[in-house]
Each structure stands twice: as structure tokens, then as C-alpha cells.
Structure 1
């Protein structure tokens, strides 16, 4: 990545970006409908960024109803040159403890019925995109380097299981995901990642482990617990984002 304009997609717990000096808000209309909200342009660590809350600025859009195509199309046409997606996940393997952050390097898609490609209508030819490495290696390494430089305890790789939601998983489903090689589970990783690849936007995820996945912790998963863990981790997320942006 040689350009400085970065997009940050905020997930659960990041509907606003603290420290962002807002310069303007831009309402975008796309061929795929309306994005989750206006794009917020501003300066973070002295660099231009564009912020978008994935679930809407009031957190009212569930994962399976996010208009991923409109969001990614809007960011591309706003002129950004890379996307960092912040996402809350459940921890499956032992190192994915709540309040840590992780930078996945692989993803498995378990979603269904979502509009998952830009290449499905009015085609002159069939288009296949390479998705061997679903996250941009250079952008991932910038995030990893930023975390290391400020001493943030981050997991530097892992496989993200993208499930349909909005319900959480059963313990048996989590056992299956682990057998499949997954380290964390979330509901927004796909088709967001592949849509960015189709539009040639470098894309990486900063995953916030919000809770132990079903059957991995004690008792049932509560939203109070999830929100508490996300709030505790968000300071590290912001510092990593700021440090990453400073290096662009």
C-alpha cells in the first residue's frame, strides 16, 4: 500500500472512532442500495481516514442484514486504498482469550443467502478472483508491526469462522469449527473480505475476542460480558489503528 487514505470499518463496540478529527460526512448511494450509514471523513494521527460503522451508527443492523456490497462499493468509490475491519469474535482455541486482539490470516465461510459477489449480473465473462490469502499480507504485517511496537498482546494469525447469525453457535457447532481448523468465530467476516478482493482493495481484520465461544467458557454467554470485554480491549484496538496509520 502506497497511498495514505485508509478506511476503518467499525464493528460491535466501535460505532464511533475516538480521536478522529471529523472533517465531513458523505452520504453515498450505490448500485447495490444504501450503505450502513454515511461515510465519516477525518484525520486520525494526522492522516486521512474514512470511517464506517458496519452495523449502523446506532448499532441497529444485524450481521445477516448488513449491505456488504453497498459498504465496500461506497468505500472504493470514496477513494480509499485499503480497509481495516474491526470485528468482535468468540474465542475457540486456548490462545484466543477474551480481551485479546487477533489478526487472522485465513477464513472459512459458513454463511448462506448473503449477496456475496459483484460479479453476478450483466456479465460479459465469468470472473474468478484468487482468494488463497483472503487478507492482504502487507496490511496484516503493518497491523502486526504496530501491535508489537506498542507492546499490545496480540495473536498474529488464525482462522476466522464466518457464521450466519444472528444467533450464537451451539457447543457442538463450535466443536465442529475447531475440527475444521478455526480459531475464532464471528458473523461479519464474509462476504466483506471477498468483496474487497473483487474491487482490489487491500483488506485486513483486527479481531477483538469478546467472549469464549459456546462450550469453551463457564456458563452461558451474556451480552453484558461481551460488551465489558469489548470495552476493555478497545483501547488497544485504537492504539494499534493509530500506530498503523502513522506508518502509512
Structure 2
């Protein structure tokens, strides 16, 4: 069973009904068993789908087995990954319901594994991540959104926090003052591992709420779920219309990420 393009679904996106001739599989990885992966077709492209948090959001962000997830997709032959994330806004001008096409992240996580290369047999790798999101995929998503008349903010910096708690008012104020745009708990980790696997990776963030202190209301996951439900059809349309438009051949730097990155003994 093989695939060339994958979708990683974030909060609110746990299954995909637009993949045809679908089958399910699991992959054994050095980091444990992958969750159930749906593999099938979108037009003439072979596509895999994996729910980041598992079925029914059963795994919190700080305990997701990111390495098994990305490794399993790579094992299936996936070279491109389109992901979704639910995010809080750090900017009053970026409102709930808007989509943001990320171009940068800042990582404030503390305890999760962030590399596939921890010395020993795997060696040590210092991968370049100056531009963490694939420019080719970003261009495809931006052009597709324009064609579909979906209002997609073309750039945004994502702050990745550990979770599963929401952020304090002081943390949100700090992130806002530093000029960041949205906050979430998952995306930086995936982007790093995808780059180490030389996979193209891009993300559409769906703004579900304002961050603490910007919002005057108590932050709840119910609020996130309700807004995702309202926007799920739009984000699916964007992703699945983008898939056939992804170039057959990769002409981006992602495929050569490990060149010169490995420490030679």
C-alpha cells in the first residue's frame, strides 16, 4: 500500500470521506505502531490521511507520537504533507473563522522528542529549517484558495506551546508583543520531523478563538470544536482541490534537506 501525498488532520478533522477506493493500514516504526491510516485516491493521486490526535481526539498534543506518525507516512512513500491546525489568534485583526497559511514558527515546547537523529547508529544531523514550510506546497494552496475565492491570509508565524493547557494572559501578551500571529500546540514538531525526512510540508491554520486576554471569555475546547465544525467543509474543499494541482515533480529545497546536514565522524 503506497501514497504520495498525505493529509494530517488536526482538531475537528478526524476522518475524510473524499478519498476514493480507501483502505486502512497501520505501520510499524522504530517509535511504535502508527495510528490507523486511510489510504486511497483523489482523482489520479494516491493519498493517505492520518488524524493527528487519533480517532475522536483521544491523544493530547504533548503525547502525540509525532515521530511514528511522520515515519509511517514516509514509509508509505509520502513525499508531500498537507496539514491543518486549529489555532488561537494573537492579533485582534485575525479573527475566528479565518484561514492562515503559515510561513514561520517559533517553538516553545519543552519535553517532546524533536528529532529522528539522537546519535548512535542514526548519527547527528543539524537540518536547516530557515524556511520551515515548503514553498511549492504553499504556492499551490495559495493559488487554489484564490481560485475558490477562499480568504486565505498568505503568511503567518505560529507559536507552538506544550499544552494541553491553554496559555496565560501574560504568555499571549508576550507572543503578541513579539509580533507573532497565531498559537497552537502541534505544528512546529511536525514541520521539524518532516524536514528531517526530506518531506514537503505545509499547513493551513484555522483560527478558532482569540488568545487569553484578547478574548474576554473563558477558553474552551467546545468553542474550538464548534468553529471547526462550521469551517470543515471549506478546509476540506481547499485541501482536496489542491491535491490534483500539486506538481508531479518536486522542485523545492525540501527534497535535499539532509545534504550537508549530517555530522561526519
TM-score (norm 1): 0.94
CA apart distance, 1:84? 0.8
1:169-248 map, 5 Å: 169-248=167-246
SS at match of 1:239: helix
Q: Is 2:16 the counterpart of 1:17?
A: yes
CA contact (8 A) 1:162 1:186 kept: yes
**What residue is the counterpart of 2:40 in the other structure?**
42
Q: Give the aligned length.
A: 244
Q: Distance in 2 between matches of 1:78 and 1:95?
A: 40
**What residue is the counterpart of 1:78 in the other structure?**
76
TM-score (norm 2): 0.88
Deviations 1:103-149 (A, max 9, x none): 11000000011011011031475311100001011111111111111
SS at match of 2:143: helix
Q: Distance in 2 between matches of 1:182 and 1:34?
A: 35
Structure 1 residues 122 and 100, CA gap change in structure 2 (3 angstroms):
same
CA contact (8 A) 1:101 1:233 kept: no
Structure 1 residues 236 and 126, CA gap change in structure 2 (3 angstroms):
same
Deviates more, 1:62-71 or 1:224-233: 224-233
Q: Distance in 2 between matches of 1:143 and 1:83?
A: 12
**What residue is the counterpart of 1:95 in the other structure?**
93
Q: Distance in 2 between matches of 1:72 and 1:22?
A: 23
**What residue is the counterpart of 1:7 in the other structure?**
6
RMSD: 1.4
Q: Runs of 4 or more off by more than 6 Å in structure 1? A: none
CA contact (8 A) 1:34 1:67 kept: no
5+ residue gaps in structure 2?
247-265
